[in-house]
Amino acid sequence: MMDELVPPLIRDSKVFMYPFYYFAYRGKNIREAMSFKSNVYSFTPEEYTNFYKSIDTISRNRKTDLNQGCIDAILDLFDDSEESIIDVGCGNGYILKEIAEQNKNKSLHGFDLKKPKGELPFIFTSGNIESLPFEDNSFDTVLCNHTIEHLLGEEKCVRELIRITKNRLVIVTPCQRYFYYTLDEHVNFYPFEEKLTSVIPLEHYKCTKIQGDWFYLGEKKKINKN
């Protein structure tokens, strides 16, 4: 709402945004957070990983970044048939837990930089999306929710997602215009559909907007050669 209603000159002002950062980051590391979009490009892989492992914002209290419409759309994809599913960038594992509750025949896997807390109804692997430790066509369905917007090498990471996909790839990301000062550590922005679909080289796909997020569903029948 703030992105749409506040004039850009004010919305992207450091002075205007400082109180929001102070609140969101619980008063910690405000300078680092506000300069993230500049500094991230000089991060080593270790610094990038450590940054995401160490941030402590109020958004971490949310059970998921997915809106209800996208949750329903993901859950509607599955039936009782056997299927292997991985959520790349699984966070606390929310959507995998929901799938596990509704579908007992699934082989579930989660992948992220940091292992979720507690007992998990899925196999977890830690690592970097740029080099996924899985064979080609390993999973019937690959999910990647609210993750692509954080990735520096987005096209390389997307190709990794496609590589491990056997049948279908689901990507959910915000429909969001660019501002330097955002509270979400985003480096990629997708204000219109073509900005997203242009970096995903799948010929067969459907991309729709659901409650402010892009819901991309691609089928691995034929990959465009760029």
Amino acid 95: pLDDT: 97
**pTM of the entire predicted model:** 0.92
pLDDT at 223 over 50: no
Residue 225 in this model has a pLDDT that exceeds 70: no
- Return the domain boundaries, the chain: 2-60, 63-223
Average pLDDT score over residue span 85-92: 96
Q: What is the mean pLDDT of residues 39-45?
A: 92
Give the Å distances, CA to CA, from 65 to 12, 22, 68, 72: 23, 21, 10, 13
Contact 188, 156 (CB under 8 A): no
The stretch 35-55 carries a mean pLDDT of: 89
Strands 139-145 and 165-174: parallel
Give 63-223's CATH code, choosing from 3.30.390.50, 3.20.20.70, 3.40.50.150, 3.40.50.720: 3.40.50.150
